[in-house]
Structure 1
Amino acid sequence: MSDGPNRGIDRRAFVKSALAIGGASALSACLNRTDSGDVPTGSESPPERQHAWNDALARDDHGNAVEPPHRLLLLLDYEGNGTPTVGEREAVATALSTLDRAYAWSHDGLLSTMAYSPAYFARFDASLPESTPLPDPRALASFEDPTLDTPDALLYLASDHAHVLLAAEQALTGEKDTLNGVDVTAGFNGVLDVAQRRTGFKGDGLPAEHQDANGVPTSEPVPEDAPLYMGFKSGFTKTQATEERVTIRNGPFAGGTTQHASYMRLNLEQWYEQDDREARVGKMFCPYHAENDIVEGTGDNLGTDAAMSKAKPAAQAASEDGVVGHNQKMVDVREDGRPIILRRDFDSTDGDHAGLHFVSFQRAIDDFVATRDAMTGDELAGDTPVGRRTNNGILQYMDIANRGNYLVPPRSKRALPTPRGDA
């Protein structure tokens, strides 16, 4: 690795590659090639809500949560026959608690959620209670044809340090005896098998450093300071549901939540080469923002909100302007001024193509479906009275490749639960 001015870029590109490859050799190389530093160990019990990350995240100058830059999704298949045994539950519980003891519940340590799919719960005779519906994933628009993910479980890991994610994976798969100084006494091996790995990143400058993937234009590069491939900031405090709003309130899984995980391939060549900045602002936010230069750079000047108060209702903008913005459409599914889903999505170069892993948490999957229906905006997409076809947000720049639905139990029930919440 050079010591010249591109040293930081080389290091971060290498870290991305190591995380995508995975395995013991990638972990070793990552530790050798990066300044790993000391990672704090877990000193207190993490919150009962697995999705309670906000208090453990860094904050920007406006107070918005800043999510960890490195992400890993492990799609897991149950290796046994029938339903899990007591011994298998104990092994999974011990493995997950080892992660909690090895790393602080912090962006500087390790944040996680362990979730289960409809396919997992279908192996039991009992059904999930009415208080916790978990529908099978499905296409959510006429133009979609996604692969419907059916692993038994999904483990979502996030950290400021890529080597932490690699080491945690190695411990879970029985390939490490110690983890950040903590003995590993149990793993997933023999109980849960890693069927697929999905990796990615999010943060200022990271997409610009990962432009060597298909779907990214060379003539019009991603802005150098953009936190996401499409060039704009997301995750403003007031454009996110609260953790309380997405928490299940009743039944055996009270304190948990539901999770949707999609993978979208991005067409950034069209996004950057077909549209100028004003058009991109109009489609991401709304025409008012584009016409009045409301968005500076990536949008950090907006503070804690996307500033939709001066935007026309979506239907009015579609009719009068022929353009309706993505954020503009989301206003229609707000509750008490806030969305009803909590997004923790991230960019990716999985499959050597620019993409987005859209991960959201919501009290019920129906909340995600309602949000997605608003994004699709079928009623907005037709011809306008002035003879123009509506430019309908950002839909045309992404292709939905995968969809999956999951239940995230509270922490005390996260190890191979039954449909009635036994753990």
Structure 2
Amino acid sequence: MTLPDRSALSRRDYLRALVAVGGASALSACLSESEEIDVPSGTDDPDSLPERQHAWNEFLSRDDDGNVLAPEHHVLVALSLAAEPTDDARETVESALRTLERAYEWSNEGLVFTLGYTPAYFDRFDGSLPEAVDLPAPEALSAQEDPSFDEYDAVLHLASDHSQVVLEAEEGLFDEVDALNGVDVETDLTGVFERVDDRRRTGFVGAGLPANHTDLANVPESVPEEAPFFMGFRSGFAESQATEDRVTIADGPFAGATTQHIESMDVQLRTWLEQDSHYQRVSKMFSPKHAEEEMIGDIGEKLSTSNALSDERIESTAEDARTRGVVGHAQKAARAREDGDPLLLRRDFNTVDGDSPGVHFVALQQGIENFVRVREAMNGDELSVAHANNGIRSYIFVNRRGNYLVPPRSLRALPPAEPTTN
């Protein structure tokens, strides 16, 4: 692909654009442009890392309130199996992934990643997934959407605070570089996996990053300068997120695994930011009460470790629809909580793939049924409220969905449907 025009972009935007382009040429340009950084090395003993691939939180930075901060740069690498899942192929995959773990510290300053597998991958086996694994094929989750589905074999989610790390890691896995952060690449994924290039997805999250993209036609100047997400508000509050324990499969041969749903959405950002007032946006994102009592601040800075949705406010969702004519996105979704606990661990991020604003919504949950439950609550189809005031539904448009099993680390390399040991 053609590299972006350096003269037309700030350094930060140029690095983001290089991640979106991908490939060896983009990596070379990224390394030439990047400031000298000291990326911490990985471990000589990958077995010392957590058995859960999705065990990121302990190793990531936190904000002043103690909420986990997502890494700034993300790549979702779509993969198609190019060889039968034999023991030799499994050894190749495991060796390649261990190279990443030796090269980069398991942290946002280094690299965190997961490798997840679609239902289509498991369909090749004679046996079926264990009962404890809830992994149906993806489907449309509202009457208003007609998404495409992820039906290749696997997705690799790479995340780091450094753009050159996610690029370098991806290229190292596909025989484009000889060493990663000083560690020789002796085994890669070529011959086992092929990249599905037209399904590669990229993005970013962090204070100030969305506002750096107002040069794009559909990203208005009104994006709040310090907002970490395009829609203008903080997210990822600790008490509004499921814990890693809560999203982990507890029993059976895949104990220690989780399921992952990836939902790619376009965002009608200009309408959201320039048609609605701040009061209306707060009402639709959180709840009408949040707007009335000015609980949020400009971008959510008044909040600490929760989105301030009390049990009373959640229970008032239907009444707010009838009497106020508007309900909040977070207010609706919170109705799906179980014994007061959230069901989803969100790891979503902004994107300008295709030069248009959007979100790749990455959610981890114990089973896909939990995601469906939350999504149906967020849809709020049963509420007596106009579509335009039904949370943020009239501003987001799902174009793609995919379901994945993220096995424990010991089974991440081409797992069979019915592993006999874990």
TM category (shorter chain) comes to over 0.9
Counterpart in the other structure of 1:3 = none
Counterpart in the other structure of 1:40 = 40
Q: Residue type of the partner of 2:216?
A: A
Structure 1 residue 177, shift from structure 2 partner: 1.4
Structure 1 residue 305, shift from structure 2 partner: 0.5
Q: Deviations over 1:16-39 (max 9, x none)?
A: 011011111111111111114111
Unaligned runs of 5+ in 1: 1-6, 384-388
Q: Residue type of the partner of 2:416?
A: T
Q: Deviations over 1:28-60 (max 9, x none)?
A: 111111114111111253211011110011011
Q: Percent identity?
A: 53
1:365 aligned to 2:363? no
Q: Is this contact kept in 2: 1:214–1:354, CA < 8 A?
A: no
Counterpart in the other structure of 1:334 = 337
Distance 1:142 1:411 in 2: 37
One of 54, 58, 65 as aligned partner of 2:57: 54
Unaligned runs of 5+ in 2: 1-6
Structure 1 residue 284, shift from structure 2 partner: 0.3
1:27 aligned to 2:30? no
Q: Deviations over 1:218-257 (max 9, x none)?
A: 5xx2000000000000000011000000000111110010
Q: Deviations over 1:315-368 (max 9, x none)?
A: 111111110001111221112433101000000000111000000000000000
Counterpart in the other structure of 2:15 = 15
Distance 2:159 2:127 in 1: 33
Q: How many residue pairs are counted as aligned between the two chains?
A: 407
Counterpart in the other structure of 1:265 = 266
Q: Secondary structure at the match of 1:356?
A: strand
Counterpart in the other structure of 2:398 = 400
Distance 2:384 2:226 in 1: 32
Q: Is this contact kept in 1: 2:258–2:367, CA < 8 A?
A: yes
Q: Is this contact kept in 2: 1:36–1:163, CA < 8 A?
A: no
Counterpart in the other structure of 1:91 = 92
Q: Is this contact kept in 1: 2:244–2:345, CA < 8 A?
A: yes
Structure 1 residue 133, shift from structure 2 partner: 2.4
One of 209, 215, 219 as aligned partner of 1:216: 219
Q: 1:211 to 1:338 in 2, by over 3 A?
A: farther
- What's the TM-score, normalizing by structure 2? 0.94
| Root-mean-square deviation (Å) | 1.5
Counterpart in the other structure of 2:411 = 413
Q: Secondary structure at the match of 2:350?
A: strand
Q: Residue type of the partner of 1:70?
A: H
1:319 aligned to 2:317? no
Q: Residue type of the partner of 1:26?
A: A
Structure 1 residue 213, shift from structure 2 partner: 3.0
Q: Is this contact kept in 1: 2:325–2:385, CA < 8 A?
A: no
Q: Residue type of the partner of 1:398?
A: I
Q: 1:371 to 1:197 in 2, by over 3 A?
A: same
Counterpart in the other structure of 2:195 = 194
Q: Is this contact kept in 2: 1:324–1:390, CA < 8 A?
A: no
- What's the TM-score, normalizing by structure 1? 0.93
1:105 aligned to 2:103? no
Q: Is this contact kept in 1: 2:322–2:384, CA < 8 A?
A: no
Q: Residue type of the partner of 1:205?
A: G
Q: Residue type of the partner of 2:292?
A: E
Structure 1 residue 99, shift from structure 2 partner: 0.5
Counterpart in the other structure of 1:386 = none
Matches within 5 A, 1:62-211: 62-80=65-83, 83-195=84-196, 196-211=199-214
Q: Residue type of the partner of 2:408?
A: P
